[in-house]
């Protein structure tokens, strides 16, 4: 008989199980029976901790929001130079996806559905927080004259996120998620080349900045 656990513990276990199963198959194909079996509880017990299957996926996105943003902010905080911080954020996002491939699968699955949903609203909240972090770093780079003159910061943030998403999509299609780590540095270099000030100007600014 399964050992009774506090609700928050079972919720965390069910979220982890949902992510693990979503990494192996379509999230739409994951049933509450699958989750119950993975955690070692009855299917009825699942609904004592979450009111619906949708609530489980919402909890998955909440986990992704908290864990991913914490990693990105921590990566950025280590670097004093804003372009180096952007690189660190890029690589931290890649590492997160390699460790949690179920997260993008859940997001991509939901985005295929027409109309608005609570899950899409949570994803928008995650992306807004992500863009806020990126815009802050890009503003710092612009203030330090490290960006090409006239760089559109909103477009640069979109390009940054799109570059990561392109890597994610390619890795999911190939089934080789770990390959993202080897490809990511070159992809970020291309992003940086697109937004960075000409080398001579950037070098002169860095040399005169205390």
Alpha-carbon torsion angle 82, 83, 84, 86, nearest 10:
90
Task: Name the β-bridge partners of 196.
Answer: 147
The pLDDT tens digits for 97-149 are 999 999 999 998 888 888 899 999 999 999 999 999 999 999 999 999 999 99
| Gap between the Cα atoms of 102 and 172, Å rounded | 10
Q: Architecture of 54-195 per CATH?
A: Orthogonal Bundle (1.10)
| Gap between the Cα atoms of 4 and 25, Å rounded | 29
DSSP 3-state assignment of 147?
A: strand
| Gap between the Cα atoms of 70 and 196, Å rounded | 26
| Gap between the Cα atoms of 53 and 7, Å rounded | 16
- Among 107, 118, 117, which Cα is nearest to 26's? 107
The pLDDT tens digits for 27-62 are 999 999 999 999 999 999 999 999 999 999 999 999
Task: Name the β-bridge partners of 147.
Answer: 196
Enter the pTM of the model: 0.88
Domain spans, the chain: 54-195
Span 172-193, average pLDDT: 93
């Amino acid at each position: 008989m399964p050992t009774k656990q506090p609700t928050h513990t079972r919720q965390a276990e069910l979220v982890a199980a949902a992510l693990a199963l979503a990494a192996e198959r379509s999230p739409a194909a994951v049933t509450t029976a699958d989750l119950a079996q993975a955690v070692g509880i009855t299917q009825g017990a699942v609904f004592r901790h979450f009111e619906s299957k949708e609530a489980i996926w919402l909890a998955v996105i909440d986990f992704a929001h908290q864990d991913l943003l914490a990693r990105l902010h921590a990566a950025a905080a280590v670097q004093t130079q804003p372009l180096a911080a952007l690189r660190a954020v890029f690589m931290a996002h890649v590492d997160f996806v390699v460790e949690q491939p179920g997260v993008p699968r859940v997001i991509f699955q939901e985005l295929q559905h027409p109309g608005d949903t609570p899950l899409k609203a949570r994803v928008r909240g995650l992306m807004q927080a992500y863009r806020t972090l990126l815009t802050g770093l890009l503003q710092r780079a612009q203030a330090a004259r490290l960006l090409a003159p006239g760089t559109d910061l909103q477009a640069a943030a979109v390009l940054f996120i799109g570059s990561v998403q392109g890597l994610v999509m390619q890795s999911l299609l190939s089934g080789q998620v770990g390959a993202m780590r080897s490809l990511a540095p070159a992809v970020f270099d291309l992003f940086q080349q697109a937004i960075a000030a000409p080398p001579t100007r950037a070098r002169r600014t860095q040399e005169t900045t205390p």
